[in-house]
Structure 1
Amino acid sequence: MSRIAYVNGRYLPLSQAQVHIEDRGYQFADGVYEVVPLYRGRLLDEDPHLDRFDYSLRELQIAPPMSRAALKLVLRELVRRNGLSDALLYFQATRGVAPRDHKFPAKTKTAFVATMRRSRPPSAKQIEEGVSVMTTRDIRWERCDIKSLNLLPNLLAKQQATVAGVFEAWLVDDDDNITEGSSTNAWIVTSDGKLVTHDAGAAILNGITRQRVIKLMEGEGLTFEQRAFSREEAMRAREAFLSSSSSFVLPITRIDGKPVGEGKPGPMTRRLREIYVAAALEAPVVI
């Protein structure tokens, strides 16, 4: 089956999906996006993803492309036409098409596209043995809470990690604190057993999986802190893990080549992944 995309009101084979050369997303990264995981036929945390999509649009003063009800219909129809049960559903909105000029155009229509691809979840080995990360300087702009199309610093960090042969890059700010990963949120379990992740705000993207993990921890009665933590504290941590829509909860067992704790996934990380997957399977099936 050929992949189907949605482009400004039309469902098209991916090979025929096109946007205008003067779309401001193409010329200025003037737009926002979301990625919703489809897991065993279930759209995970769809409404929180749409809430963040609306937030990002408001922050960039871009009009919504359609109502939420209409958007949900479009996404479900795209799921149906692609016939996938485990996938990543990507959609983006830009300010639209206008002659190239830095200031906002006086009149424009929000452009909207959506695509799907099969998900590439972590391997059984990565889940059982954990993955490695490296640290690198955080050079992003000061509004990381907006899920914008402007991802060049993230791409450079991810490429640096790829060249180094590790799974992810953890970004370090000017105070030597770890903010998040290039496409994931960062977590540690401190030497005295406290769960810590950077506080939500402009310095990080408040991941939807991150938010779900926090709710699950509250339900389990686990104590945690939302605060900055340093690279040095991470190196002393008992456990570490990352969270994202594509990896869920994934253990980290090496940071900058040095083992985390005993160098293997810890009990807290294993438990959080277990309860996350269980919660995901409680979501309603959409296909």
Structure 2
Amino acid sequence: MTRTVYVNGEYLPETEAKVSIFDRAFLMADGVYEVTSVLDGKLIDFAGHAKRLERSLNELDMRKPDCFDDLLEIHRELVRLNDIDEGLVYLQITRGAPGDRDFAFPPEDTAPTVVLFTQNKPGLADSPAAKTGMKIISVDDLRWGRRDIKTVQLLYPSLGKMMAKKAGADDAWMVQDGFVTEGTSNNAYFIKGNKIVTRALSNDILHGITRAAVLRFAREAQMEVEERNFTIAEAQAADEAFITSASAFVMPVVEIDGVALGDGTPGKRVARLREIYLDESRKAAV
């Protein structure tokens, strides 16, 4: 089935969608993006994603597209046109295609490029990995210093995922100056007793939309949350560990650099956090 995608104001078959070879995202990785999950045909945490998108645009001094205020309806229309019950909507905004390659920003009146497409993922909420858990390795964090901006500069995270794959693991946690920053496409956590530990917000990590929701639900469930730097060794000695992201929700981690956590199976607290997140997110979905 050919998907319908959105490109610069038009809904098109994916086979007819085109973007200029001079687009700044293609030449300079000069673009930002968001991924919003779809459950039961509705969007999860859309308001949070829209707010973070606006922040990313502002941080890069990138022009807001004319369609910005219509993004919710565009997302909904793509979900409808592609009959998505469970899946994802990917949105990318770039600084546009000024007509030639230049390191300097294009004129301010250059129209941004706006692209959206869906990914159909039946069973997204009932992922087998949530029952078996993930194996993680650690890698050096060699990314640029503004990881709080959700840019399309994803080469190193991609390399990190491939390093994990070659090591027989599922993903990688990145380490800088001896401390875990985050996963390749997710935020990282461990649980010791009744306390969740995760890195504090700063320019070093992405300010995860799912992260914010999960920590709020955890506090409401009377769990303690401590936001601070932590080491791989601390996480290996934990009772449980997990990641969060818009596409994985809450996913248990059962092994870190070859060391099994507990008995090597997903723990009850992470399972409960995933259950709470999915239940509450479905209630608030738009």
Matched AA of 2:273: L
1:151/1:106 Cα in 2 relative to 1: closer, same or farther (>3 Å)?
Answer: same
Within 1, Cα distance between the matches of 2:146 and 2:245?
Answer: 19
Residue 9 in 1 paired to residue 21 in 2? no
Q: What is the deviation of 1:73?
A: 1.8
Structure 1 residue aligned with 2:139: 136
| Secondary structure at the counterpart of residue 229 of structure 1 | coil
**Identity percentage over the alignment?**
40
Q: What do the CA deviations read for 1:99-121 (whole angstroms, capped 9, x no partner)? A: 21111112411110100011373
1:85 shift after superposition: 1.1
Cα distance change, pair 4–31 in 1 and its aligned pair in 2 (3 A): same
| Aligned-residue offset at 1:66 | 2.5
Give the Cα separation in 1 of the matches to 2:167 and 2:261. 18
- State how far apart, in whole Å, the 1-side matches of 2:63 and 2:75 are: 19
- 1:172 counterpart residue number: 175
SS of corresponding position for 1:73: helix
2-side partners of 1:147 and 1:154: how far apart?
12
> Structure 1, residues 162-206: CA drift from partner, whole Å, max 9, x if none?
2222111000112x111110011100012x442101111101001
**Alignment partner of 1:40 is 2:40:** yes
CA contact (8 A) 2:23 2:94 kept: yes
Contact 1:161 1:169 in 2 (8 A): yes
**CA deviation digits over 1:24-65, x for unaligned, max 9?**
011001010000000111200000000000000000111111
Give 2:269's aligned residue: 268
Q: Say yes or no: does 1:59 pair with 2:62.
A: no
1:223 & 1:84 partners in 2: Cα distance?
A: 36
Partner of residue 75, structure 2: 75
Matches within 5 A, 1:176-191: 176-190=178-192
Structure 1 unmatched runs, 5+: none
The alignment partner of 1:38 has SS state of strand
> Partner residue of 2:233?
232
1:105-156 deviation per Cα after TM superposition (whole angstroms, max 9, x unaligned): 1241111010001137376542222111111100011100000011111111
In structure 2, the residue matched to 1:195 is: 196
CA distance in 2, matches of 1:128, 1:6: 35
Tell me the secondary structure at the aligned position of residue 132 of structure 1.
strand
Question: How many residue pairs get matched?
Answer: 283
Aligned AA for 1:279? E
The residue number in structure 1 matching 2:87 is: 87
Q: Distance in 1 between matches of 2:9 and 2:249?
A: 31
1:223 is matched with 224
Cα RMSD of the aligned pairs, angstroms, is 1.5
SS where residue 284 of structure 2 aligns? coil
Alignment of 1:98-109 (within 5 A): 98=98, 99-107=100-108, 108-109=110-111
1:159 aligned to 144, 159, 162, which one? 162
Distance 1:113 1:129 in 2: 35
Contact 1:41 1:85 in 2 (8 A): yes
Summarize the alignment of residues 250-261 of structure 1 with structure 2, pairs less than 5 Å apart: 250-261=251-262
1:280 counterpart residue number? 281
Which residue type is aligned with residue 131 of structure 2? E
User: How many Å separate the matches in 2 of 1:269 and 1:19?
Assistant: 42
**Taking structure 1 as reference, are residues 142 and 284 closer, same or farther at Cα in structure 2, changes over 3 Å only?**
closer
CA distance in 2 between partners of 1:38 and 1:124 (Å): 14
TM-score (norm 2): 0.95
- Per-residue Cα deviation, 1:231-282 (whole angstroms, up to 9, x for no partner): 1111111110111111111111111111012211112111101111111221
